[in-house]
Amino acid sequence: MGFAAGILTFVLAGAVSAQHRISLSGDVQAKVSYCKDCHGVSAQGFNGYYPIPRLAGQQPEYIENQLRAFTEHRRTNNIMFNVAHSLSPAMINALTAHFASLNPPPIGGAPRQLVATGRKIFEDGMPEVNIAACAACHGPEATGSGVIPRLAGQLYPYMIKTLSNWGRERGQNPTIPDTAAIMSPVAHSLNKSQIEAVAAYVSTLRPPRGTPNTVQ
C-alpha cells in the first residue's frame, strides 16, 4: 500500500469512527427518550398505579446488574425483559452513565411523621432483633456503591412494594447466584410499619451530585 493510499484509508477509517459515534449518540438519545415514557422526565420515577423506580443518580453497576437480572429471569418483568434483551453493552454503558449523572429532586409524597423513625432504622438498625443499619451497606447518604443501589430519593411506594415482595421479585432463578440474597434476611425481618418508615426516610434524601459513598 502506497503512502497516499495509507493516508486515505486512515482518513476514511476516522470518518467511519466519527460517524459511528454520532450514530451511537443519536441512538442513546432515542433510548433515553424511550425510557422517559415509564421512568419519568429526568428519570425521577413515576408514581402511578404501578410505581416505576427512579433511575436518576443510580449506581451504573447496579443498573447493569439488574438489566442482566431481567434477561436471566432473576427478576420477572416482560416489559423490562424485552428492553434489556435488546441493549448492547455499549448502549448499557451509555445509558447507565447518563442516569448516574442526573439528580432531580425527589418526587416526595411520603408521610412526614414516619421520617424520624425511618432515619433511626436506616442509621442505627435494630440491634435488638439483629437488623443491621441500612447505612452500613447503602452509605450514610444512601447513595449506594457498585451493585449496592442508591436509595436516596427513591419513590416511597416503590420502596414499600420492593421490600414487601423481596422474595417474590428478586433472585427468581435459583441456578444463577444473585446479590439479592444479601438483602433477603433484612427484607424478611422488617414488618410493615418499619418498611414504611425506612421508605419514607430514604424517599426524602437528595445528596449532592457526585456524593461519594464512604462505606469501608
Cβ neighbour number for residue 7 with a 10 Å cutoff: 11
- Three-state SS string over 100-113 comes to HCCCCCCCCCCCHH
Share of the chain above pLDDT 70, in %: 85
Model confidence at 211: pLDDT above 70: no
- For residue 23, the model assigns a pLDDT of 46
Say how far apart CA 83 and CA 185 lie, in whole Å: 30
Q: Average pLDDT in the 178-205 region?
A: 95
- For residue 189, the model assigns a pLDDT of 93
Q: What is the DSSP letter of 171?
A: -
Residue 208's pLDDT band, with cuts at 50, 70 and 90, is confident
CB 67 within 8 A of CB 84: yes
Q: What is the largest CA-CA distance in the chain?
A: 79
- For residue 187, the model assigns a pLDDT of 93
Model confidence at 14: pLDDT above 80: no
Q: Which stretches of the chain are DSSP H helices? A: 3-39, 60-71, 78-85, 89-100, 115-124, 135-138, 156-164, 166-169, 180-189, 192-203
- 95-99, 119-123, 205-209, 211-215: the lowest-pLDDT one: 211-215
Position of cell 422517559?
36
Residue 9's pLDDT band, with cuts at 50, 70 and 90, is very low
Model confidence at 164: pLDDT above 70: yes
Global pTM reads 0.85
- 33-42, 67-76, 192-201, 202-211: the lowest-pLDDT one: 202-211
Overall residue count recorded for the chain in this entry:
216
Share of the chain above pLDDT 90, in %: 79
Model confidence at 188: pLDDT above 50: yes
Task: Tell me the pLDDT of the chain averaged across its residues.
Answer: 88
Most confident of 19-33, 151-165, 166-180, 199-213: 151-165
Model confidence at 192: pLDDT above 70: yes
- For residue 26, the model assigns a pLDDT of 81
- For residue 156, the model assigns a pLDDT of 98
Q: What CATH number should be reported for the domain whose range is 38-203?
A: 1.10.760.10
